[in-house]
Amino acid sequence: MSRRVSTLLVLAVLVAVMGYAVWKTFLAPSGLPPEGFARGNGRVEADLVDVSTRLSGRIADIAVQEGELVAQGDILAVMDTTELEAQKMRVQAGIASAEAAVAVAKAGATKAQASLALANSELARAETLSDRDVISRENLDISRTEAQVAKAGFAAAQAEVRVRERAVDAETASLREIEARIADSTLYAPQAGRILYRLTQPGEVLGSGGKVLTLVSLGNVYMEFFLPATQAPRVRLGDEARIVVDIRPDTAIPAVVSFVAPQAQFTPKQVETIAERESLMFRIRVRIPPQMVEARLAQVKTGVRGVAWVRLVAPDGSMPDWPDGLTPPVVETLPAPLGDETGQ
């Protein structure tokens, strides 16, 4: 009887060992991040910028093609400014005419000032003669009236000068407005990037705000991924991260955590179970340092898939060090190319 029990025990141990081996080989999770680390799948992305017209008009020329790399300040497109140039010439003529009117008004003011000086001199002489009873009271009143008229004429002439000067200011303001419109008719690259779409062609007429090009801005290159509710609160803004793209699995790109979603990506039920709370996912964004992107702009393309690694803050506030072998060696500059031949 004891022999049979021993045999059964041996068989039970063998079954347990074989079951563990099967679970370890086929069912056990593998490749999980070590304690204190998390990772998520994502793709390299960048902000899209729509280059649009401020004014309505006809597109005269588009200087770039789809897929072309542009630097900040490069000319992308030019609108027809024939009408604006004609308006500018008309306003310039108006400014010249207004300035001539100012000169005439100033000459009139000078004449009125001289008349006022003469009238004041005649009035002083008339008052002296009146005190000596050389002239009549009537002649003195006439001199006083002439002095008052001359004074009013001088004030009016000065006011006319100011009116003419304000007319020059108004014409100058109109000129600046037209020059600003002409300047806005040339569309520049707001930042370094790659042309994704040409949305119009030369000769087409667009309204105000019409889209001409779509630019992939390379000033903000990042990867977004998702972490469960048990890990996302342990990721802090500004923490160091790593990005490993699929096409270059032998190198890791340093990055920085630039965004952690303040809430889950979907609204859960009003009453949640523990399992439902654990299934909530939070969006995380890690950004590649701009200086690295600027050093290899020609090689950076969006849409490349990969994995982002982040460190998790422990309850005591500490963070684990990056162990050797967890990610590939970190590169100082972006690998060439960071993208494929067809990615945009």
Partners of residue 125 on adjacent β-strands = none
> pLDDT by residue (tens digit) across 167-198?
999 999 999 999 999 999 999 999 888 898 99
- The enclosing H or E element of 111 equals helix 82-131
The pLDDT > 90 percentage for the chain reads 40
Reported confidence tier of residue 84, pLDDT bands at 50, 70, 90: very high
Reported confidence tier of residue 331, pLDDT bands at 50, 70, 90: low
Cβ(338)–Cβ(248) below 8 Å: yes
Q: What is the mean pLDDT of residues 311-336?
A: 75
Tokens of 27: 């069912």
pTM, two decimals, is: 0.66
Reduced to 3 states (helix: H, G, I; strand: E, B; else coil), residue 71 is coil
Q: What is the pLDDT at residue 22?
A: 42
Q: What is the pLDDT at residue 13?
A: 58
Tokens of 137: 């009271």
Q: What is the pLDDT at residue 123?
A: 85
Q: What is the pLDDT at residue 188?
A: 95
Q: Output the CA–CA distances (angstroms, integers) from residue 294 to 70, 193, 221, 331, 333, in the order listed.
A: 12, 10, 10, 15, 10
Reported confidence tier of residue 96, pLDDT bands at 50, 70, 90: very high
Q: What is the pLDDT at residue 18?
A: 60
> pLDDT by residue (tens digit) across 262-294?
887 654 454 444 454 556 788 999 998 888 887
Q: What is the mean pLDDT of residues 63-76?
A: 92
Q: What is the 3-state secondary structure (H, E, C) of 276-287?
A: HHHHCEEEEEEE
Q: Identify which of 172, 323, 175, 327 has the alpha carbon closest to the alpha carbon of residue 245.
A: 327
**In this model, does residue 329 exceed pLDDT 50?**
yes
Max mean pLDDT among 22-36, 161-175, 258-272 falls in: 161-175
**In this model, does residue 213 exceed pLDDT 70?**
yes
Max mean pLDDT among 38-42, 82-86, 313-317 falls in: 82-86
**In this model, does residue 333 exceed pLDDT 70?**
no
C-alpha 18/C-alpha 12 separation (Å) is: 10
Tokens 């093609």 found at? 65
> pLDDT by residue (tens digit) across 129-157?
878 877 788 888 888 898 899 899 989 99
Reported confidence tier of residue 81, pLDDT bands at 50, 70, 90: very high
